[in-house]
């Protein structure tokens, strides 16, 4: 596994959280995915008034990684206010793209599981 600790990956996700666009829920989410080559790609949630058009932070990070040619996912960190877990759509995408990927769920204080 590349030399990026769980805490470092969570820090990347926490940094991405501040860029979230969440004017409807005010629930900011950041994510960071670690690839086998040691790259860390971050994403945040982007809401839309047409709620189904919203994209979660997890899918933003994974999509950005794919757009950069990354395919081998080692871990993903997700940071929310209260340590909320990924939605069903994100779980499906994570299972398909990184079936062996470690998932870290963290709150804004850095507590994680």
Residue 80 near residue 107, CB atoms below 8 Å: yes
Whether 58 sits among the annotated catalytic residues: the reply is yes
Residues 51-82 as b or e (16 or more Cβ within 10 Å = b): eeebbbbbbbbbbebeeeebeebbbbbbbbee
The residue annotated as part of the active site, out of 3, 58, 96, 108, is 58
In the chain, DSSP finds a helix count (H) and a strand count (E) of 3, 4
CB 20 within 8 A of CB 45: yes
- Which sequence positions are flagged as catalytic? 58
């Amino acid at each position: 596994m590349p030399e990026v600790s769980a805490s470092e990956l969570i820090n990347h996700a926490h940094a991405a959280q501040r860029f979230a666009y969440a004017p409807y829920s005010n629930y900011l989410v950041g994510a960071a995915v670690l690839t086998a080559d040691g790259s860390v790609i971050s994403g945040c949630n982007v809401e839309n008034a047409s709620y189904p058009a919203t994209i979660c932070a997890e899918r933003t990070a994974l999509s950005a990684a794919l757009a950069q040619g990354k395919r081998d996912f080692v871990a993903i960190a997700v940071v929310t206010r209260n340590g909320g877990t990924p939605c069903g759509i994100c779980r499906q995408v994570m299972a398909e793209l990184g079936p062996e990927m470690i998932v870290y769920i963290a709150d804004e204080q850095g507590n994680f599981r």
